[in-house]
Structure 1
Amino acid sequence: MGLMTFLRNRAGYILVFAIGFAIVAFLVGDAINVGKPFWAANQKTVGSIDGKDISIDEFTPKVDQNLNQFKQQYGGSANAQMTAMAVDQAWNAELAAALLTKEYDRLGLTVSNDELMDLLVGQNPSPLIKQYFSDPQTGQINKLSLNQFLKSKDPQALQQSNMLQMEIKNQALQQKYSNLIRNSVYVTSLEATDEYTNRNKLANFKYVSLDYTSIPDASVKLAESDYSDYYNENKARFNNPQDTRAFEYVTFSISPTAADSLAIKTQIDKIAEDFKVAKNDSLFAAINSDVKVPYTYLTKGKLDPAVDSAVFSLPAGSFYGPKLSGNSYKVVKVIATRFSPDSVKASHILIDPAKVGGDDKALKLADSLKGLVVKGTSFAELAKNYSVDGSKDKGGELGTFARGAMVPEFENAAFDGKAGDIKVVKSQFGYHVIKIEKQIGSSKVAKLAYVEKALGASSKTQAAAYKAASNFLSEVKGNDFSKLAQQKGLKVAIADKITPTQGFAPGLDNPRKLIQDAYAADQGDVLPEIYNMTNAYVVAHLTAVNPKGILPLEAVKKEIEPMVRNAVKAKMLKDKFEKAGKASLDQIASKVGRTVNPVQNIVFANPIIPGVAQENALVGNVFGSQPGKVSAPVNGERGVYVFSVDGFTNPAPIANMFKQKEGMLLSLGQRSLGAAFQALQDNAKIKDNRVKFY
Structure 2
Amino acid sequence: MGLMTFLRNRAGYILIGAIGFAIVAFLVGDAINVGKPFWAESQKVVGSVDGEEISIEQFGPKVDQSLAQFKQQYGSSNAQMQAMAVDNVWQGEIAGILLGKEYSRLGLTVSSDELADLINGNNPSPIIVQYFGNPQTGQVDKAQVLRTFKEGYKDPKVATQLRAVEDEIERQALQKKYANLITNSIYVTTLEANDEHQNRNKLASFKYVSLDYASVPDATVKPTDADYSDYYNENKKRFENPSETRSFEYVSFSVNPTKEDSAAVKAQVDKLAADFKTAGNDSLFAAVNSDVKVPYTYMSKGKLDPAVDSVVFNLPAGSFYGPRFSGNSYKLIKVIDTRFSPDSVKASHILIDPSKLGGVDKAKKLADSLKGLVQNGASFAELAAKYSIDGSKDKGGDLGTFGRGQMVPVFEDAVFNGKAGDLKVVASQFGVHLIKIEKQVGSSKVAKLAYIEKGLVSSNKTRDAAYKKASSFMNEVKSNNFAELAQKKGYTIGVADKVTPTQGFAPGLDNPRQLIRDAYAADKGEILKEVYQMDNAYVVARLTDIKPKGTLSLEAVKKDIEPMVRNAVKAKMLIEKANKALQGASSLEQVAQKLGKTVTPVENIVFANPILPGASQENKLVGAVFGAQPGKLSKAIDGSQAVYVFSVNGFSKPAPLANTYKQKEAMMQMAAQRSLGAAFQALQDRSEIKDNRVKFY
User: SS in structure 1 opposite 2:520?
Assistant: helix
| Percent identity of equivalent pairs | 69
Partner Cα distance (1:606, 1:295) in 2: 59
- Structure 1 residues 98, 381: closer, same or farther in 2, change over 3 A? farther
Distance change in 2, residues 1:492/1:79 (3 Å): same
CA separation in 2, counterparts of 1:469 and 1:233? 46
Give TM-score scaled by structure 1 length: 0.90
Matched, 1:277 2:278: yes
For the 8 Å contact 1:589–1:596, the answer to whether it is kept is yes
Q: 1:253 to 1:61 in 2, by over 3 A?
A: same
Q: Point out 4+ residue stretches in structure 1 off by more than 6 angstroms.
A: none
* Cα distance in 1 for residues equivalent to 2:340 and 2:576: 80
Task: Answer with 277-286 or 379-388: which moved more.
Answer: 379-388
Structure 1 unaligned segments of length 5 or more: list them.
1-38
Which residue does the alignment assign to 1:69? Answer: 69
2:55 maps to which residue? Answer: 55
- CA deviation string 1:385-436 (max 9, x = no partner): 4444444444433322221112212221222222232222222333333232
Is 1:143 aligned to 2:142, yes or no?
Answer: yes
State the secondary structure of the residue aligned to 2:42: helix
1:62-118 superposed Cα distances (whole Å, 9 cap, x missing partner) = 223322333343x22112222222222212221121111111111111122222222
Alignment of 1:145-164 (within 5 A): 145-152=144-151, 153-164=154-165
Q: Distance in 1 between matches of 2:232 and 2:99?
A: 37
Return the alpha-carbon distance in structure 2 between the equivalents of residues 58 and 397 of structure 1.
38
What is the SS of the residue equivalent to 2:503? Answer: coil
The aligned residue for residue 616 of structure 1 is 619
Q: TM-score, normalised by structure 2?
A: 0.90
Give distance in 2, aligned partners of 1:46 and 1:391: 40
SS of match in other structure, 1:347: strand
Which string of whole-angstrom CA distances, capped at 9 and with x for unpartnered residues, describes residues 505-557 of structure 1? 22222122222212222222222122222222222222222222111112212
| Alpha-carbon distance in 1 for matches of 2:115, 2:351 | 33
Matched to 1:538, the amino acid is V
1:156 deviates by 3.8
Paired position in structure 2 for 1:43 = 43
Q: Deviations along 1:164-183, whole A, 9 cap, x unmatched?
A: 22211111111111010011
Pairing 1:254-273 to 2, within 5 Å after superposition: 254-273=255-274
Alpha-carbon offset, residue 438 of structure 1: 2.4
Q: Check the 8 A contact 2:479/2:542 in 1, yes or no.
A: no
Could you say which residue in structure 1 is the equivalent of 2:5?
none
- Please state if 1:242 is matched with 2:243: yes
Give the AA of the match of 1:84.
A
AA at the equivalent of 1:217: D
Which residue of 1 is the match for residue 100 of structure 2? 101
Q: Does 1:547 find its partner at 2:564?
A: no
Q: CA deviation at 1:654?
A: 0.6
State how far apart, in whole Å, the 2-side matches of 1:241 and 1:559 are.
Answer: 17
Please say which of residues 40-49 and 172-181 is displaced more in the overlay: 40-49
Which stretch shows the higher mean deviation, 340-349 or 509-518? 340-349
Deviation at 1:377, TM superposition (A): 4.1
Distance 2:559 2:366 in 1: 75
Aligned partner of residue 520 in structure 1, secondary structure: coil
Amino acid at match of 2:126: P
Cα distance in 1, alignment partners of residues 304 and 351 from structure 2? 32
Match of 1:219 in 2: 220
Q: Distance in 1 between matches of 2:371 and 2:217?
A: 86
Aligned-partner residue type, residue 159 of structure 1: T
Matched residue type, 1:681: Q
- 1:413 corresponds to which letter in structure 2? A
Q: For 2:317 and 2:165, how far apart are their aligned partners in 1?
A: 50
Query: Which letter does structure 2 place at the counterpart of 1:671?
Result: R
Aligned partner of residue 43 in structure 2, secondary structure: helix
- Contact map agreement 2:501 2:517 (CA 8 A) in 1: yes
Tell me, yes or no, if the aligned pair for 1:149 and 1:157 is still in contact at 8 Å: no
Structure 1 residue 594 displacement after superposition? 2.1
The yes-or-no answer on 1:535 pairing with 2:532 is: no
1:652 aligns with 2:651: no
Residue 586 of structure 1: aligned partner: 589
- What amino acid does structure 1 have at the position aligned with 2:117? D
Instruction: Tell me what 2:453 maps to.
Output: 452
Say whether the 8 Å CA contact 1:149–1:161 is kept in structure 2: no
Aligned to 2:18: none
State the AA in 2 paired with 1:628.
G
Native 8 Å contact 1:609 1:615 kept in 2 = yes
SS of 1:613's equivalent in the other structure is coil
User: How far apart in 1 are the matches of 2:57 and 2:376?
Assistant: 51
d(CA) in 2 for partners of 1:107 and 1:344? Answer: 52
Residues 232-241 or 537-546, more deviating: 537-546
Q: 1:575 to 1:684 in 2, by over 3 A?
A: same
Structure 1 equivalent of residue 9 of structure 2: none
Whichever residue aligns with residue 178 of structure 2, its letter is Y
**1:103-142 deviation digits (Å, cap 9, x = unpaired):** 1111111122222222222221211111110122433212
CA distance in structure 2 between the aligned counterparts of 1:380 and 1:532, rounded to whole angstroms: 57
**CA deviation after TM superposition for structure 1 residue 60, in Å:** 2.3
Q: Which amino acid aligns with 1:321?
A: G
Q: Please, which moves more after superposition, 312-321 or 170-179? A: 312-321
- Residues 575-631 of structure 1: per-residue CA shift (max 9 Å, x gap): 322332432322222332322111111111111111111111111111121112222
- Residue 336 of structure 2 corresponds to which residue in structure 1? 335
Query: Offset at 1:312?
Result: 1.3
Letter in 1 for 2:209: V
SS in 2 for 1:423: strand
Q: Does 2:167 correspond to 1:172?
A: no
Aligned to 1:301: 302
Instruction: Go from structure 1 to structure 2 and tell me whether the alpha carbon gap of 1:689 and 1:354 turns closer, same or farther (over 3 Å shift).
Output: farther
Query: Counterpart of 1:11?
Result: none
Task: Give the direction of change, closer, same or farther, for the CA distance of 1:84–1:130 in structure 2 (3 Å limit).
Answer: same
Confirm or deny that 1:631 pairs with 2:634: yes
Structure 1 window deviating more from structure 2 (598-607 vs 404-413): it is 404-413
Q: Which amino acid aligns with 1:111?
A: V
CA–CA separation in structure 1 for the residues paired with 2:139 and 2:335 = 45
Post-superposition Cα deviations, 1:225-263, rounded to whole Å, max 9, x if no partner, equal 222221111110011112222222222112222222222
Taking the aligned partners of 2:40 and 2:244, their CA distance within structure 1 comes to 25
Matched residue of 2:187: which SS?
A: coil
Q: Mean Cα displacement is larger for which, 232-241 or 459-468?
A: 459-468
Of 342-351 and 144-153, deviating more is: 342-351
Contact 2:70/2:76 (8 A) holds in 1: no
CA-CA distance at 1:465 after TM superposition = 1.4
Rate the CA distance shift 1:339–1:628 in 2: closer, same or farther, 3 A. Answer: same
1:683 to 660, 663, 686: 686
Look up the SS of the partner of 2:292 in the other structure: coil
What does 1:479-628 align with in structure 2 at a 5 Å threshold? Answer: 479-582=480-583, 583=585, 584-628=587-631
- Which 10-residue stretch deviates more, 275-284 or 192-201? 275-284
1:381 shift after superposition: 4.4
- In the alignment, the residues of structure 2 paired with residue 365 and residue 458 of structure 1 have an alpha-carbon distance, to the nearest angstrom, of 56
Whether contact under 8 Å (2:338, 2:445) holds in the other structure is yes
Cα distance, 1:601–1:297 mapped onto 2, change above 3 Å? same
Paired with 2:527 and 2:379, the residues of 1 have a C-alpha distance of 70
Report if aligned partners of 2:344, 2:440 keep a CA contact under 8 Å in 1.
Answer: yes
Change (3 A) 1:360 1:44: farther
Deviation at 1:678, TM superposition (A): 1.0
Distance in 2, Cα, partners of 1:223 & 1:124: 68
Deviates more, 1:572-581 or 1:408-417: 572-581
- CA change 1:256–1:206 in 2 (3 A) is same
Change (3 A) 1:393 1:88: farther
> Residue type matched to 2:499 in 1?
I
SS in 2 for 1:248: strand
C-alpha contact (below 8 Å) 1:206/1:646 kept by paired residues: yes
CA distance in 1, matches of 2:86, 2:97: 17
Asked whether the 8 Å contact 2:479–2:525 carries over to 1, the reply is no
Summarize the Cα distance change of 1:391–1:531 in structure 2 as closer, same or farther, 3 Å threshold.
farther
Secondary structure of 2:568's aligned partner:
helix
Distance 1:41 1:349 in 2: 54
